[in-house]
Structure 1
Amino acid sequence: MTATDRPLAKLGFLTIGLFDEADPFAGHESTLQIIELGEQLGFDSAWLRDRHLQYGISSPVAVLAAASQRTSRIELGTAVIPLGLENPFRLAEDLSTVDVLCRGRLNPGVSVGPPTHFDAIKDHLYPDTWAAENFGHERVLRLLANLRGEPVSTFAGTEGIESFSPSIQPHSPGLIDRVWNGAAGLASAEWAGSHALNLLSSSVVRAEEDDDFARIQRSHIDRFRAAHPLGEAARASQGLVVIPTDSATPAQVAKYEAYAAARFGRTTSPQGPQRMLFAPDLVGSSGRIADALQSHAAYQAIDEVVFALPFSFEHADYVQILTDMATHLGPLLGWSPRA
């Protein structure tokens, strides 16, 4: 097969960075090595997903600060930070600091809504204010205002020998243009567009007007761009679990196929009262995956992707998958690795 008339411009990957509770360093170090490998292979971006009260990355901003000192080119993203667990004041300070450290390579992705298992954690997370907390888009707006450098304090000037700023420091110009919104529904996608953000289309969507995943994901991208000031030029990225097997061993292929088969049931129809629908995992040769992507309604609307690495695999598996993505799948899609 050959690349389409709209070749893939940006190839990125996403990981949750699993670790052993008894030895958390090893898992975090593996994640950092994977990000370094991504840069060596020419990937455009590496993204971390939040996993709170689990054995995965709970502080992606801190890990990306470490990654910023071990890489020099690859963009570093969060996909996504659930703002229900965050203070937009402090998060803006952390994001701006990491963006300064990596010289403008940070891509913060955020989402809204109550934290997972909120009733189980609310007394520890917000012991005095949980009933009054707003988990809607107002939290994003506060974060954006902070990243733009709008005042957060009525005091500025010198007090004794210390100088104070009315706005979040450090301020990193350009970071505001690299904020992404993770959307699983039409309203969230439209909101992101109307506020000139970038869109991370999710591999988990709400089946609001359709039961076909590809068409639903495409509708989110279309709704987002229809509302965005840049229209068709607005940045939207496709998210799917993609597992090329070109250089995989027979044992790895068997593991990957079993993993996808165990998850396939949730892709056949919407799940639960919110009608959540999951994307099928794409497993196989790069040629086979490229053909599937070329016929995917959402892929046809984008020129950048953030492919998710599967959960609970070994470090060697991720090395093989990323290497095949960069050396086999990417070129078939018209992508060229960055020098």
Structure 2
Amino acid sequence: MTLSNISIVKESQAPLLQVQDVHTTFNIKQKGTYFWQKPDTLKAVNGVSFELFAGETLGVVGESGCGKSTLARTIIGLVRANAGSIKFGDEEIVGASKKTMRIKRKDIQMIFQDPLASLNPRMTVGDIIAEPLRTYYPEMKKSDVQDEVRTMMKKVGLLSNQINRYPHEFSGGQCQRIGIARALILKPKIIICDEPVSALDVSIQAQVINLLQDIQQEMGLALIFIAHDLSVIKHIADRVLVMYLGHAVELGINEAVYGNPTHPYTQALMSAVPLPDPIAERNKVIQLLEGDLPSPINPPSGCVFRTRCPIADSECAQIKPVLEGTLDHRVACLKNKVEL
């Protein structure tokens, strides 16, 4: 899907996934508190909304602790949302039963950050990739399962004669390919990639990203790609969601967010992206953020970014901004808005 087609797709096609005002919280018992005292509430995801269309890639960026991984786990059902709506097609999956989520999870798979830690060291590669097939299609013959596994191994760049090896015999990049094969074996509609290349060397990162793009085009997958590296997101994403302290602060097509970053937080992130031109790199101005990330247990009132924002005023402490703007670019900021 090209960037110029995003708006057309939005207008003509129903979203594959709709996330509306999702909240995910955790009860945290502070050290030294008495047993009768109420635990604190950590607001990991706070009112995030977006849509995902078939065949597109949504990049999710933000610093550590902003709620990216919790959002991913909430969508797939590993963590339950406390409020809001998540619709896969026309079916609501927030509050769905374990049986319903088990059925839906066949169509929404996940690739994890640490390739080796996500694989069972006591299982062979063949058994790891085949496990989803045996879970959802127990009636399949063993020979048919083996054929599917070998075909998928070839698709992700692994040799079929490696089927009886164990994860520790593979490199990090190969282990991530095994994780990708396991996620793809059920032919899902959505793959959630939770920083799948952050633990790999740069050259291996490029190989894995290109592999994901080739498979996406071949199978028509929708991807939610979480990363810290804004250069990776720029390369792979059709649309970009910027998160800060559990909130969505900017959402738009790739060329809008990278070409015209509007939220002060997005502007600071973009200013830190290395430039390939040495002269431009030396002359660029990096917008450093003052202070530390506030605690999600006790976030600031109004705009959660105001304690680190260079343009915040008293109004920002009173009013909580919401995503506003055009179909292609929305920003949650009282001072910087998208031109309509």
Question: Under TM normalisation by the shorter chain, which class is it?
Answer: 0.3 to 0.5
Q: If each structure's helix is expressed as a fraction of its own residues, which one has the higher value?
A: 1
Larger radius of gyration, structure 1 or 2? 2
**Given the two structures, how large is their TM-score scaled by the length of structure 1?**
0.37
